Amino acid sequence: MNDNCIFCKILKGEIPSAKIYEDEYTYAFLDISGDFYGHTLVIPKQHFENVLDCETTYLNAVINAVQTISNHYVNNCGFSGVNVFNNSGASAEQSVMHLHFHIVPRTSNDGYHVSPTNEGVKVDLSEVKAKLEVK
């Protein structure tokens, strides 16, 4: 646990949260922003900054919890899809430095636009592949 981390404080019960799901390794609760109905955050019960440093056991548990909650939203709560995303690093717009995956439950007529809409990025894919391929 990290004393200065608001999500660690949520895990310790020092800050209230609207719990959605919990297991041995993970905890999920509603995002406070109220931007999307049902916007959910899934976090590991141990403090890691993001996907770049998270231990595999916790990272696997978090993504399994994301699947469990997403299936619940689609099978039992009237949604037909989910957006799942994660920001890792300040440059990637991460604002709370405790690993979390976002789930936004969706219906086809909700009017939301969650995916990025950047346009005009002209790239030579073979050049990008030469730089980015994992070898």
Q: Which residues of the shown chain bind Zn ion in the complex (CB under 5 A)?
A: 2, 5, 7-8, 47, 98
Burial 73-109 (b: 16+ CB within 10 A, else e): beeeeebeebebebbbeeeeebeebbbbbbbbbbeee
Residue 114, interface with ligand AMP (CB under 6 A)?
A: no
Residue 33, interface with ligand AMP (CB under 6 A)?
A: yes
State which residue, 46 or 83, has the beta carbon closest to Zn ion.
46
CB 7 within 8 Å of CB 17: no
- The single residue of 47, 98, 100, 102 carrying the catalytic annotation is 100
98 is catalytic: no
User: Residue 83's beta-bridge partner residues?
Assistant: 104
CB 78 within 8 Å of CB 107: yes
Among 59, 84, 94, 110, binds ligand AMP (CB under 6 A): 94
64 makes contact, choosing from Zn ion, ligand AMP, none, with CB < 5 to 8 Å by partner type, with none
By CB under 6 A, name the binding residues for ligand AMP.
Answer: 6, 15, 17, 31-33, 41, 87, 93-96
Q: Which active-site residues does the annotation give?
A: 100
